[in-house]
A and B are shown apart, each in its own frame.
Chain A
Amino acid sequence: MTNNLPLEKKRISIITKRKKLTGDELQLYSLCAIPMLLVFVFNYLPMGGIIIAFKNYKFDKGIFGSEWVGFRNMEFFLKSNEFAKLVRNTLGLNALFIIVGIVAAMAVAILLFRLKSRLSTKIFQTTLITPNFLSWVIVSYMAYALLNPSYGVLNSILKFVGLQGIDWYNTPGAWPFILTLAGVWKCVGMDSVIYYAALMGIDSTLFEAADIDGASNWQKFCNIIIPSLTPLLSILTIMKIGGIFYSDFGMFYQLTRDVGSLYNATDVVDTYVFRTMRVIGNMGMGSAIGLLQSIVGITLVLTTNWVSKKIDSEIGLF
């Protein structure tokens, strides 16, 4: 319609529109105001608080009164023994979680997809998703019931078959496996949903054509299922790599019950920052480590997003 207007008129209408806010626009902006204020207070103010990372923060002196120490906090951390251990644990465990998590979720999705009965699919899926609703506190109780050195089910079984019980909360070596298993147990159902949805979206004529050509299940798997999951798989992996320096604090804190003897295997950046803040009380240091984590995090997210856009312009996160 507007194309029919004479050019002059159109231009004028645009100019006048630019000039003053209409009532509608004011109403729209006013709707935004409170949410934006809250985001400012709870997201942007803490970003400003990052200057703590460059200070020797004392509660009685406050942010502005505490003395500047420049990069000393970061330097101290990067030179400490903790640094290498934290990087190793965080990267190693996250890599393990990503690989095992994805393989498990895809396997569950593909096998569920092969199940013909709608009713049993529904029942199985619902059951598998349920742990996702539990908090890590409750999951830690379940883990405790299994791992408790004197009463735990696992040690009862070990003793039953004539082996020695293991003091699990004192055996760091076992924890990468325990954490991975717990993570898969809690998340595999929900994670598999997205792959299952992708499988349901495959054109069924592809399978019919494959059947007519006498394709085996393995051939169908390699030539239909895997190629149709690949885009999703790559984007989810890339997104997870973007967050590889962050950990699920609840999982690490609750499942290990914050037991000191496990730190060597289970301490990650988030738990370390937490302890630096709460136990040691060194705010400047905690903040400095958090800042390093954020900087590496933002770099990774932007890089991985750039990579995923290179792969396929449709699948970037933003």
Chain B
Amino acid sequence: MKKNNRKTQVALTILFTVLCILVVYPFLLLIGISLSNELDVAEYGYRLIPKNLDFSAYIYIFENPRAVLNAYKVTSIFAVVGTFLSVLLISMIAYPLSKKGLRGKNAITFYLYFTMLFNGGMVSTYIVITQFLHLGNSMWVYILPGLISPWFVFMVRTFFQGLPYEISESAKIDGASEYKIFFFIILPLSKPVLATVALMTFLAKWNLWYESMLYINNDDLISLQYLLQRIMQNIQMLQDASNNINVSSLLSASKIPAETVRMAMAVVVAGPVIAIFPFFQKYFVKGLTVGSVKG
């Protein structure tokens, strides 16, 4: 029995090791290609282990950092601002909804809930945003739409409801206003759920590309992911604007080690995400399980 058990454990470990290699392999492949020599790629195709180690793809990116740095800047700004506003506004509407006996509570809940059931669709959203709100080509188009996700509102509300009622009650007796209770008592007590919402929102914002494609014509305002998408078709996006003016550098565009630079860009974009987010995994897991509590 015991021997059998050990065999199972070994088999399971091997199985999962193989699965994990399959999961990690594509990422290692990107790194491998990005460190290859362009000529080797042309001759032998993409390889996990480069024939000759060659950093020229990365050197190229660091010599032409403008587009990448700009996209990093734009993405960081809207991800941070968007996440902050999202968490703040979600809690602001979740708090009254967590109050027992507040008049109109059900109406507000339905008002939010209905947006989960029905939406205007891609086209009318596009027209409202571009023709009525005139948010095209502005940073706000990344931030404002979708700021209040009903799913998160209900999740945060459920958390607020679970907080001991006595705390806010005693504060009220001491003369604290609802604003004070909300900002100085409820919010600090709710860090776990707010962190979950913040991380999930931040990740979603960080991975935005659709908004750039749809609403942004200005290359200085595109998101990191969209820059990556564009590079697939047009590697010259990476060329510094200053270089681009003179003809000699236009000629040199054909000398860009396109295959390896593309993959190096993918590594530069994906690297930080892979390095950082797994450490916050437990918050994402919590978001899954807390979210499954019905509202």
Contact = CB atoms under 8 A, between A and B. Distances in A.
A277 B153 CA distance: 31
User: Which of A32, A50, A190, A197 has the most chain B CB atoms closer than 10 A to its own CB?
Assistant: A32
A208 to B, nearest CB: 14
Given A32-B92, A46-B119, A273-B123, A146 B16 contact: no
Interface stretch (B52-60, B109-117, B246-254): B109-117
Interface residues on B, range: 35 or more
B26 A28 contact: no
B234 interface: no
B84 interface: no
User: Which of A114, A142, A150, A298 has the most chain B CB atoms closer than 10 A to its own CB?
Assistant: A142
Interface in B11-69: 12-13, 15-17, 19-20, 22-24, 26-27, 29-30, 33, 41-42, 44-48
Contacts of A24: 172, 177-178
Contacts of B48: 153
Contact of B12 (A25, A35, A111): A111
Contact of B89 (A28, A35, A287): A35
A39 B148 contact: yes
B110 to A, nearest CB: 10
A135 B124 contact: no
A47 B118 contact: yes
Contact of B262 (A31, A114, A141, A189): A141
B131 interface: yes
A263 interface: no
Interface string A97-132: 000000000001001101111001001101111111
Contacts of B44: 156
Interface string A255-298: 00100000000000010011011100001001100110110011
B119 A127 contact: no
A190 B133 contact: no
Contact of A185 (B17, B23, B209): B23
Contact of B16 (A116, A120, A137, A138): A120
A286 B122 contact: yes
B284 interface: yes
B92 A127 contact: no
Contact of B278 (A29, A124, A133): A133
B288 A134 contact: no
A130 B33 contact: no
Given A141-B263, A151-B46, A31 B93 contact: yes
Contacts of A28: 95-96, 99, 102, 178
A318 B277 CA distance: 31
A59 interface: yes
A49 interface: yes
Interface string A235-260: 00000000000000110001001000
A36 B97 CA distance: 12
Contacts of B232: 140-141, 144, 257
Nearest to B9: A116
A297 B118 CA distance: 8
A27 B102 CA distance: 12
A49 B121 CA distance: 9
B236 interface: no
Interface in A176-234: 185, 189-190, 193-194, 197
A35 B122 contact: no
Contacts of A135: 206-207, 209, 225
B295 A127 contact: no
Nearest to B20: A127
B101 to A, nearest CB: 9
B106 interface: no
Nearest to A290: B121
Contacts of B20: 123-124, 127-128
B144 A31 contact: no
B235 to A, nearest CB: 13
B33 to A, nearest CB: 6
Interface in A290-312: 290-291, 293-294, 297-298, 301-302
A95 interface: no
A108 B128 CA distance: 44
A290 B295 CA distance: 28
B93 A32 contact: yes
Nearest to A29: B96
Given A291-B121, A298-B117, A134 B284 contact: no
B12 A290 contact: no
B182 interface: yes
A11 to B, nearest CB: 17
A13 B226 CA distance: 60
B114 to A, nearest CB: 8
29 contacts: A23-B177, A24-B172, A28-B96, A38-B147, A39-B148, A42-B125, A50-B124, A59-B131, A128-B19, A128-B23, A130-B278, A132-B284, A133-B277, A137-B225, A140-B229, A141-B232, A151-B41, A151-B45, A151-B259, A250-B209, A254-B209, A270-B122, A273-B123, A277-B122, A283-B127, A286-B123, A290-B123, A291-B121, A316-B294
Interface of A: 23-25, 27-29, 31-32, 34-36, 38-39, 41-50, 52-53, 57, 59, 62-63, 108, 111-112, 114-117, 120, 123-124, 126-135, 137-146, 148, 150-153, 155-156, 185, 189-190, 193-194, 197, 249-250, 254, 257, 270, 273-274, 276-278, 283, 286-287, 290-291, 293-294, 297-298, 301-302, 316-318
Given A47-B120, A185-B23, 7 more contacts: A35-B93, A50-B121, A115-B13, A137-B209, A153-B45, A155-B45, A274-B122
